[in-house]
């Protein structure tokens, strides 16, 4: 069985167990309550699973903390509280990002994915600060632990569920170019690794009886989660600023060079591209022979556009080309009164 089938089966199992709650919550983003119809929209289905599991995680970890009194388990539960709020934002963002273009938002709504990722990163960061604070307090004043066996059992079972869900969300998110799902999946895996650390720390305390190991492990986990939150915020920052992906840039430039060397076009400039969730926007000025008839020039450029579109099968590619004569200086003696050409060195 391939990875895709494994992820889907795992998610389906979680949904079937918690379906009543998740369907009720998600009526705002999906008009059907039919499992068969829901499975046709994997991103929405995966997000329902994520929310249902987030509730399970919170209930389970708080129960484990009440039973054991472990600071490490409390830090794990605090991260789960944040995860529920973050998943709620992700739910809304996924619904909003899939709305069709409008006169008010002619470029669509995909950029909300970066808002969602940044917000989730900020929440992770805040949760990590709380974990670090609680750990330092526990180190200073000491910890009182009890019934660690039950705490380990509950945390271990929840860790396994998060492992399956996290990889499932990332797999579906990458397949459908849905940054919201990828960010949520990474958050779930962060929660999972936190739980792994808790299992190690509480397990060592259980075996050795050294109580200060519990808050020490929680402190180490808090620092690691701080870094994870910062990375998500940085990723959202890059997306909101339309940072160009170097591999995409080289692919587009390579196809334009080939067209130029083959004589299909004379040159190109003013290339720009940006990604908005699953949309890839490209604009470029194409230079052709000044005496070429419009139909022929359009046919040449259309072939190039089709080649570029085929190079990015995972994206919905929107290309805008501006035709100009080879004698560009004659047509624009003052040049283009616009932003500088970011790839002017390609001339």
251-259 contacts at long range (C-beta below 8 A, 24 or more positions apart): 251/311, 251/312, 252/282, 252/284, 252/308, 252/311, 253/343, 253/346, 255/304, 255/307, 255/308, 255/311, 256/284, 256/304, 257/346, 259/304, 259/307
Q: What per-residue confidence (pLDDT) applies to 3?
A: 40
Alpha helices in 98-147, H assignment, sequence order = 112-141
Q: How many other CB atoms are there within 10 angstroms of residue 49's CB atom?
A: 26
> May I ask the CATH architecture of the domain 246-346?
2-Layer Sandwich (3.30)
DSSP 254: H
CB 47, CB 90: distance < 8 Å: yes
Position 347 pLDDT exceeds 60: no
Mean pLDDT of 83-108: 79
Residue 123's pLDDT band, with cuts at 50, 70 and 90, is: confident
pLDDT at residue 61 is higher than 90: no
pLDDT digits (tens, 9 = 90+) for 10-60: 333 333 333 333 333 333 334 344 444 444 477 778 877 887 888 888 888
| Fold match, 3-240 / 246-346 | no
Per-residue pLDDT tens for 138-150? Answer: 787 776 667 777 8
At residue 334 the predicted structure's pLDDT band, cuts being 50, 70 and 90, is low
Q: Name the average pLDDT for the chain.
A: 77
pLDDT at 307: 93
The pLDDT assigned to 330 comes to 67
Is pLDDT at 1 greater than 50 in this prediction?
A: no
Of all residues in the chain, the percent with pLDDT exceeding 70 is 82
User: How large a percentage of the chain has pLDDT more than 90?
Assistant: 10
The first and second tokens of residue 228, run together, are: 């994870």
Angle between helices 42-68 and 71-97 (to 10 degrees): 160
DSSP lists the bridge partners of residue 83 as none
Tokens of 338: 């616009």
The DSSP output letter for 315 is S
Domain ranges, ordered by start, for the chain? 3-240, 246-346
- Give tens-digit pLDDT for 187-240: 788 778 778 877 887 888 888 888 788 788 778 878 887 887 888 888 888 888
Question: What is the third-level CATH fold of 3-240?
Answer: Alpha-lytic protease prodomain-like (1.20.1510)
Burial (0-12, 13-18, 19+ Cβ within 10 Å), 283: middle
């Amino acid at each position: 069985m391939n990875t895709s089938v494994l992820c889907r089966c795992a998610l389906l199992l979680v949904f079937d167990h918690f379906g009543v709650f998740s369907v009720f919550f998600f009526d705002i983003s999906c008009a059907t309550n039919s499992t068969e119809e829901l499975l046709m929209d994997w991103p929405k289905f995966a997000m329902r699973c994520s929310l249902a599991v987030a509730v399970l995680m919170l209930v389970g970890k708080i129960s484990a903390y009440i039973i054991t009194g472990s600071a490490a388990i409390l830090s794990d539960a605090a991260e789960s509280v944040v995860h529920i709020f973050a998943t709620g934002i992700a739910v809304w963002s996924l619904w909003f990002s899939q709305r069709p273009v409008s006169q008010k938002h002619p470029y669509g709504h995909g950029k909300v994915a970066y808002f969602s990722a940044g917000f989730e990163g900020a929440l992770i960061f805040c949760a990590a600060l709380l974990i670090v604070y609680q750990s330092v307090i526990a180190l200073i004043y000491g910890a009182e632990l009890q019934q660690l066996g039950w705490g380990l059992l509950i945390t271990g079972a929840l860790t396994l569920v998060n492992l399956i869900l996290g990889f499932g969300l990332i797999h579906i998110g990458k397949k459908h170019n849905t940054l919201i799902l990828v960010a949520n999946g990474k958050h779930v895996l962060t929660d999972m690794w936190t739980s792994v650390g808790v299992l190690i720390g509480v397990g060592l305390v259980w075996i050795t009886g050294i109580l200060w190991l519990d808050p020490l492990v929680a402190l180490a986990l808090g620092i690691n989660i701080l870094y994870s939150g910062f990375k998500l915020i940085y990723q959202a920052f890059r997306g909101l600023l339309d940072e160009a992906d170097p591999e995409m840039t080289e692919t587009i430039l390579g196809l334009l060079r080939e067209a130029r060397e083959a004589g299909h076009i004379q040159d190109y400039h003013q290339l720009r591209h940006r990604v908005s969730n699953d949309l890839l926007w490209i604009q470029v000025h194409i230079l052709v022979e000044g005496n070429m008839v419009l139909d022929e020039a359009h046919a040449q450029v259309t072939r190039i556009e089709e080649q570029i579109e085929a190079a990015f099968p995972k994206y919905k590619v929107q290309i805008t080309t501006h035709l100009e004569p080879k004698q560009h200086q004659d047509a624009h003696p003052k040049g283009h009164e616009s932003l500088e050409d970011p790839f002017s060195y390609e001339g």
